[in-house]
Chain A
Amino acid sequence: MSLLTKINSNTAHSRYYQALMDIIKGFKLWRLALSLGWFDIKLRYKGSALGPLWITSTSAAMTATMGVIYSSLFKMDIHEYLPFVALSTVLWGQGIALTLSDACQCFLQANDTIHSIKLPFFLQALRTVFRNIIILSLNLIIPIIVFILFKVHVGWNALFVLPGFILWFINGLAVCLLLGCICARYRDIPQIINSFIQIIFYVTPIIWLPQQLKHHIAYLVYNPLYPLIEVVRGPLLNNGFNGTIWIYALVYSMLIWLASGYIFIRARGRLAFWI
């Protein structure tokens, strides 16, 4: 690592270069990011006896209740519905929704550190994503238990979940940079994001199945979160690899990457003044 640092103001080339260096240096500190993420979890659940399992038991209770009520509301076989809803709610709640709301706080919560030590901003994005990966993994125990109880057979096709998770990982980092920067500047954005999460929850097939839309199902891909959740959920529900879903997921992801790159390149040098 070169010890020469050169910071020019305002030139477009310098901004682009600095943003790139920030990401590279951030990746090199991945061990620190992992420790920070782990300590975050330890601190968050320090006071509670159940620790991180507290969330798990809450969502387990929610899954069980929803499974019983909605399977009768939707007139569906609980053997088909409960595994679906168990997996969906965890992927949504501890995956997508958690990342969206945590991304807003990504830089704001690190304001002490940012003002006292020069560290890559990307480190904070990495820390947030690592933290959420740990939380998601802990909570995946619920669908696993449900799958075992209901003897759901998961075949080799489930391995297609791996590229899905990789896409989630990259998108998670991009969303952290994007929302982290915007929320540092405009403080009312986190509330807007949280309302958005609540609304989009109902228009995304999470507690209801895509097939229930019948002939309207074709419109579902215009909700970006549907293909994005489906790349992970589909393989685990024995739907195998779905090319159309992946194309939409990749297009939406690229839009996220472009937006996040554009914002991060512009905002990075100003972040320390905003938070």
Chain B
Amino acid sequence: MNISAPASFIKMEHLSIEFPVFQLESRSLKKTLFSNVKKMMNNPQRHHQRTGAEIVTTANNDVVVQALRDINLTIQSGERVGLIGHNGAGKSTLLRAITGIYEPNSGHIQSHGHIEALLSTNAGMNPLLSGRENIYLRGKRLGLSQKKIQELAKDVEAFAELNEFIELPIKIYSSGMLMRLGFGLSTSIVPNILLMDEWFMAGDSNFQEKARNRLVSIVDKADILVLTTHSLSILQQWCNRLIWLKAGQIIADGPTDIILDQYKRAMTTDSGAQN
């Protein structure tokens, strides 16, 4: 046991996050609305019940979206946490809060350990640069030496099977290639805390098989895993703790089996009520 390195953890107290909504012309809102509409269209199991974030008008007439409300949560080393809930329940916002991208409006969050996040397929890559250049930039971001960057490039190239495409701008990549590159890059170093948004299991079965093998070795070495997905089988397979979010609040938190049962029951009553 290495005593000098304290265990990784994530701790949130009374954490709330609000998104400001500016005038309709503002690009940020257009983007948010668009991506939300797109998500709704793509999700066949859409429920008519309001389950997403709440839109609030504050005292000084600012319109804000309450994405997370008074979250109290501690995740210890060794935990494999799955976040469940409807679209807009605050799962992705919670992941971004853990990385520090979104800072809380009230409450606080503390974490210990190197965090890597797979939040989107392009994972902060520049679409106009080639695969190799993006790998190079990632290496620089991690502060790797020239030699280490070359090793990183070799490893990722082999995993992503890009061949000659590695020299071409990634905007022309197929979604599969992009996913393999993004996934390979984000899993090339073992973080203490690994955060994954649901996109990572969207690839074809061939990719999933490869991804799983690579992920098993990473997850085993990582102290904490937090992932969001709608796939119940993935939750069952990967997680030992589930947190169920609804309208920005935690409504259930516990061992996978118990929460999954509750969740399934709620889903069947939901669809039953609609018929």
List A residues at the B interface (Cβ < 8 Å).
Answer: 3-10, 18, 28-29, 31-32, 35-36, 39, 43, 46, 112-119, 187, 269-270, 272-275
Contacts and interface: CB of A to CB of B under 8 A. Distances in A.
A3 B103 contact: no
Given A5-B112, A6-B109, A39-B137, 14 more contacts: A7-B100, A7-B103, A7-B104, A9-B103, A9-B108, A39-B129, A43-B129, A46-B128, A116-B124, A117-B99, A117-B117, A187-B26, A272-B96, A273-B19
A10 B106 contact: yes
B104 A9 contact: yes
Contacts of A274: 20, 22, 28
Contacts of A28: 143
A32 B26 CA distance: 30
A117 B118 CA distance: 9
B133 interface: yes
Interface residues of B, number: 41
B111 A5 contact: yes
Contacts of A113: 124
B262 interface: no
A122 to B, nearest CB: 14
Given A7-B109, A116-B124, A31 B103 contact: no
Would you call the interface of chain A mostly helix, strand, loop, or mixed? helix
Contacts of A275: 28
Nearest to A110: B124
B110 interface: yes
Given A116-B120, A116-B123, A9 B106 contact: yes
A275 B101 CA distance: 12
B100 A112 contact: no
B27 interface: yes
Given A112-B124, A117-B117, A187-B27, A4 B112 contact: yes
B12 to A, nearest CB: 10
Contacts of B102: 272-273
